Amino acid sequence: MNVATAILAVALVAALVAIGIREQTRRKKPVAASSSRILFPFIASGLSERGLDAALRIARNEGGTLVPALLARVPMRLPLDAALPRQSAGAMPLLEVIEQRATRAGVAVDARIERGRTLRHALAELTRHEQFDALVVAAVDATDAGFHPNDIGWILENVKGEIIVIRSGGRLGFAPIPGHVRWARRRIHTPKR
């Protein structure tokens, strides 16, 4: 190998390394789990966009992990561990949206599904065995994508730790397309007051 070829080879390797380093700095750092955990419970029928944004901001600012938790209601006629295909079909696209937004925000995600006879029962079970630094809940409004005032009161009385209540104000929801089995994402906005 002559000197000119060696210099060209070294220059080519240096250029490839420089391009690789530049690409790595453009990408967000890999998302790693941390000890700070922000619990964000939701139900399969809808996800509060404002609540999710708030939970992601808090997790990002604290360098924490977002713990989205689907609260699944199991009817009394079924065993608590029964399959819930309808709720699962509604929840999976929502969990996917949460993970995509968290990835864009550089926030680690550790998703959960908690079952209960009621939302309160599921939330009580979740907070009994899950460690968290803050609980972010969306209060229901016209979009119906959150917790009702009675449930918020119950949470404040029965759940220990920091609780952050966000007014819902818009939801990310999934609704069946008429005549089709597939699900489509639609965004529902509420009028400003």
H and E: helices and strands count for the chain? 5, 9
- pLDDT tens digits along 113-125: 999 999 999 999 9
3-state secondary structure (DSSP) of residue 151: helix
Distance (Å, rounded) from C-alpha 179 to C-alpha 25? 47
* Domain assignments of the chain as residue spans, ordered by start: 37-188
Distance (Å, rounded) from C-alpha 18 to C-alpha 36? 35
Q: What's the pTM?
A: 0.69
CATH 3.30.300.30 assigned to 37-188: no
Distance (Å, rounded) from C-alpha 82 to C-alpha 60? 35
Q: Which token pair is 160?
A: 């220990």
- pLDDT tens digits along 36-87: 999 999 988 778 888 999 999 999 999 999 999 999 999 999 998 888 888 8
What is residue 87's DSSP assignment? H
Query: Which residue type, as a one-letter code, is found at position 188?
Result: I
